[in-house]
Structure 1
Amino acid sequence: MSEVGSRKWEVGRAQPASHEPLRRHLFQHPASHIPHRRQAFTLVELLVSITIISILAALLLGAAAVAAETARDARTKALVARLHTLLMERYDGYRNRRVELNASWAANANPVVTGIDFTALDPSYREAAARLVGLRELMKLEMPDRWSDIVGSAVPVSPGEIATSPAGAFLQRTPTLYSVYARAYNAIVPNRTAPATAYINTQTNLPNTRDDIVENESAECLYLIIMNATGDGETRGLFKDSDIDDTDGDGAPEFVDGWGNPIAFLRWAPGFDTDVQLSVASLRRTEQKIGANAVGEAILADHDPFDIFQLDRTNARGWRLQPLIISAGSDEEYGIRFDGDGVTEYIPRLDPYDDVGSGNYLGEATDDPTDLAIDLDSELYADNIHNHNVGALSRKR
């Protein structure tokens, strides 16, 4: 084919149509259809986010609260255990303490005061019984659990100074520790001679009243005992500053638990129902289930180790007692009895098993079987932390 003819054929042949404009048309969106990035959350999204954050915050706060409560509980148990170890070393030492009786002890051998009927004893055992009562008097003076143990009677309405070395009822002389405690009491009373100014309560900015002085008296007495009668003078170094406070501002410090409340103390708590010792309640249950003879057998099986001749055994008494050191726990309520009836609040006697009025006993739960709030009272009692239930301390000694 000639060159001219070839060109004609190429010119006349149909050229393929270009599809590029069509592709651009098919894959391009109008401006109104192009999605735009949103500048903020919707209300629903905000509410969902806030809800999630609130739930997480509540969980964190709850976990923190539980951790803090656990820490307070652990700290309190450790402190109670430390106090128990120091106190029981002193308490067990009374098994070997020498007791010197005064010449006129027989004049004070009143069963109302001592709980022992001396006239019913064989004459050869009466002096042994007097020694037992004298030992209990020594315990009361060296391990007081209320100021009236030091005063010798109920704390008066207008407290004043007391003698630092009075005569004993059965003891030939009062112990040296008594003088230390008496001076501590004289330092906080409103009627003082040296200095002749009343102690001013740091909370009320007024002189201490009787109510101020007795408010936390058992905890204040525990502090005096631990600091002065245990640890050979090195006791203070065993405690942190956070373990000690004066919560009522009366000038007498107390050991405080993890919740900042005083740790209370009862030297003898016959009403405290526990696995560590017999109690009025447990003996009543024994009598109801088995009989009166079983009560006597239970007492003889766990008799007071200080009563080596088992002279104190009549009228369902004479069982071993362990001092009670107790924190109110997380509800900050003890739920047990510390005082007797009336304003005298248990005039101290030399009878560990005596009731404190109306058939009530120190250490017993304050709930009444006829009380509609019995469940609440039981709860107040149930969360207490004490040396009868802290780990190995719960075992019988």
Structure 2
Amino acid sequence: MRHLRIHQSVQSTRSGFTIVELMMVVGILLFLIATSVFVVRNLGNTAREKATMSTITKINGLLTQRIDALRRASGANRNQTDLERLVSFRSTKLRRSTSDSTNIGLGAGASSVSTDVLEILVAKDLFRQYFPQVRNENASIDSLMDAVAGTSGAAGNLGSDGGRSVSAEYLYYFLTQHGVYGAAPLGEDNFLSTEVVDTDGDGLKEFVDSWGRPLRFYRWPTRLIKPDGVNVDRTTAGYLISSLPAEVISGTGQRDPLTIDPDDPKGLIQLDNQNLSGLLNPLFAASDSSTPYTLPQYATRDTYSIPLIVSAGQDSILGLYEPVDATNNGYLCHPDAANFDGLFDNITNHNQRAGGN
């Protein structure tokens, strides 16, 4: 009998992967890791943005309450006390020479300033006094902050961070420790420990964003509206203030709202200044952007302004000169052209989210 032989080919089994297959697996793993890191990082930044906006919204609400209380008090019907205050302001601040930071120095011409304009200037002075941004705007608050830090001159000192924390230190102090016209100071327990930190180690706490960096406070951000001191820049201002008053229709004869000082909607300062041959010019920041701001000047004349609280966002690039920088008009929130892109992810009390959209 013949037996059929079936020849079976025996194939050797592989014991591993080829180089190509290993490289593909590694590539996929690296892609998944990179994607996961990107997603987690974005989720983290989104959470920080929301937390920062929550902090800023809280601060803004308390700041607004204080401002409203001040305006109600200073806007009351004129009485003898108010008249005495105006006379005192004219004689002590306007008439004297610029021998210190509390005097403006118009000389004898100060007696010619109208009472209506004096009232506006007094209101501005009170606003500066109760909402200081740098040293020498309120001597009492300066001294109290120095006492907290245990060092004379600590308030307003540029310190180890070049002054980045100064305006946030003042903002924290006058909200939590200093009253204004019946609005009592707040307790520190209104804020989380992550919202208030002494980042520069000077003994003074400041408000911080969720990246642990100091917020900035600009009381009169008029150089954001008019970077050159004359022309309105709606686009730049819109990044940080998305609720800007609408532009008027050309040909209607109406003034652009961004050229109107909220304290002086009728333009009385400008009229008085014309009648007095420019006597009031030294009271306000110069219209020339290259001329540095000096205390105790007021903000850029005939310009819209609203107090601004700013976080530099996740990249920590502010895109503005610091609130303590008078030389570059940073005191009035002048954009920093060299770091302009930093504006786009900033978070403020007047934009809806990062980027001002």
- TM-score, L = length of structure 1: 0.61
Contact 1:338 1:362 in 2 (8 A): no
Where does 1:241-280 land on structure 2 (aligned, <5 Å)? 241-273=193-225, 279=226
* Closer, same or farther: CA 77–128 of 1 in aligned 2, 3 Å: same
* Cα distance, 1:304 vs structure 2: 3.5
Shift in Å, 1:140 = 1.6
Match of 2:295 in 1: none
Larger Rg, first or second structure (1 or 2): 1
SS in 1 for 2:34: helix
- Which stretch has the larger CA shift, 299-308 or 252-261? 299-308
State the 1:103 CA deviation: 5.4
Following superposition, the deviation at residue 382 of structure 1 comes to 2.7
The letter for the 2-side match of 1:109 is L
2:316 is the counterpart of 1:362: no
- Is 1:383 aligned to 2:345, yes or no? yes
Matches within 5 A, 1:1-397: 21-22=3-4, 25-26=5-6, 28-29=7-8, 33-98=9-74, 101=85, 104-107=88-91, 108-110=93-95, 119=109, 126-151=114-139, 164=140, 178=141, 182-188=143-149, 190-191=151-152, 211-212=159-160, 215=163, 216-228=165-177, 232-234=184-186, 236-273=188-225, 279=226, 281=228, 283-285=230-232, 298=255, 303-307=260-264, 310-313=267-270, 314=273, 317-338=301-322, 346=326, 362-367=332-337, 374=338, 377-390=339-352
Contact 2:133 2:218 in 1 (8 A): yes
Query: Number of matched residues?
Result: 292
- What residue identity is the alignment partner of 1:385? I
Residue in structure 2 matched with residue 290 of structure 1 by the alignment: none
Aligned-partner residue type, residue 48 of structure 2: R
RMSD: 3.9
Does the residue aligned with 2:35 lie in a helix, a strand or coil? helix
**1:360/1:187 Cα in 2 relative to 1: closer, same or farther (>3 Å)?**
closer
Identity %: 24
Q: Could you say if the C-alpha distance between residues 109 and 282 of structure 1 is closer, same or farther in structure 2, counting changes exceeding 3 Å?
A: closer
- Structure 1 unaligned blocks of 5 or more: 1-16, 152-163, 165-177, 193-198, 200-207, 274-278, 287-293, 347-355, 368-373
Distance 1:262 1:105, change over 3 A: same
- Tell me which amino acid in the other structure corresponds to 2:51: R
Amino acid at match of 2:120: L
Query: Where do 5+ consecutive residues of structure 2 fail to align?
Result: 75-81, 234-250, 274-280, 282-299
8 Å CA contact retained: 1:246, 1:253: yes
Distance 2:336 2:168 in 1: 19
Letter in 1 for 2:148: A
The structural deviation recorded for 1:251 is: 1.0
